[in-house]
Amino acid sequence: MITLSKKHILLGISGSIAIYKIFELVRFLRKKQAIVKIVMTRASKKLVSKLSLQILSNHKVFDDILYVNNGSMIHIKLAKWADLILLAPATANIIAKIALGLADDLLSTICLATTAKIIIVPSMNNYMYRANVTQHNIQILRNRGILIWGPNFGEQICGDVGFGSMLSINLIMKKLKQYFSTPLKSLNIMITAGPTHELIDPVRFISNYSSGKMGFSIAYAASLVGANVTLISGPVSLVTPPGNIKRINVISALEMHQVVMDNINNQDIFIGCAAVSDYRITNFSSNKIAKKDHLIINLVKNPDIISEVSKLTKNRPYVVGFSAETNLLKKHARKKLIEKKLDLICANNVSKNRLNSISNDYNELYLIWNGGEMFLPLKKKQVLAKQLMKQIIIRYEKDNKC
């Protein structure tokens, strides 16, 4: 089993108040026999002692971009040395630098030069984290394949409450061991989520009650197991979950179909959780339709996205579908499993007034596949998504003999 032993971990430290946690992180990494080298920003040196970190890591701590070692510039040498670059704590400033490709100090220069995986553990005030520019920068990094771990939600030193706190050291260690030990870090998972809007005219549309909460929870659960996640979302008011998640926003079923088919070839698992509208308007009116006593609208059937993915003959992923039903739950789900040629289907009851309604925070699922089924009882969608992802991975690995 792969462990942290002998792994070259370059720890990049920037000037967050959470820097005090780093001493424990370095101690734990060395206890697991990882080789740790530390790079500090100018601000971080005002908060902790460079000498202390040097003693704790048992290696020289670097901070000078012009330092030359045996004829080699240190930023190139460290960029090649690292198996992994871990930026913790990562301030809004260092996140912005890496997103923009700036290289004005040793740490940002190493990140620009390296081919190693970069993992960012944010730590900042929640207003700074929620700022549009910070969220934009984070999305840029996710799109490049950089992993974002955290932040946590909670009370901050300044008294504010919200997202921004650095993950606990225990959780960082757990995720590091998972990253190095799991084969899933190279797994590509595509997830569709939310409703689609089918326009009638510029101000009206046909849609459904889907909130996107289940699909977003699954995306987060997939990122937790180390997968590279592509989240294709219809119109929802949800924030992209933390983790290695590339989000693509769409409006209509045709747009979702196009994005899915354009990006499906390199996916290992496809999870069709979106509540895609079955029909769209035949003729969209470019002008607002005047109010009438009676209005006749002609509809045409939308593409069946999950069926098209399932019927691929080249680079077909493992296909997971959802079946939202109001009656004969398992019967209808089994029929869809067969007709759409799915590998696994998740059936849930969306009857009116049920606790696990399509827009609720809770859900329960019947998982059905060829030769078996399983019931996942009512839980918060975030918890249920983790249980579901575990079962998807089990079935995927069994089918692919991983």
pTM of the prediction?
0.61
Residue ending a domain, choose from 126, 156, 181: 181
Same domain, 128 and 220: no
Q: What is the mean pLDDT of the chain?
A: 89
- Please tell me which residue, 70 or 290, carries the higher pLDDT value: 290
What's the mean pLDDT in 242-270?
A: 93
55 residue type, one letter: I
Cα dihedral 93/94/97/103 (nearest 10): 130
Asked if 142 and 246 sit in the same domain, the reply is: no
- Average pLDDT on 122-137 reads 92
Range in 11-20, 152-161, 241-250 with the lowest mean pLDDT: 152-161
- The predicted pLDDT at position 358 comes to 64
> In this model, does residue 120 exceed pLDDT 50?
yes
Catalytic positions: 158
- Residue 106 shares a structural domain with residue 241: no
Bridge partner residues of 35 (DSSP): 8
The predicted pLDDT at position 229 comes to: 92
Question: What is the per-residue pLDDT for 308?
Answer: 95
How much of the chain exceeds pLDDT 90, in percent?
61
Q: Would 345 be classed as within a structural domain?
A: yes
CATH code: domain of residue 371: 3.40.50.10300
Q: Which of 30-34, 197-201, 223-227 has the lowest mean pLDDT?
A: 223-227
- Paired strand residues for 347: 323, 366
The beta strands (E) that lie in 16-145 are given as 35-40, 68-69, 72-73, 84-90, 117-122
The arithmetic mean of pLDDT across residues 196-202, rounded, is: 92
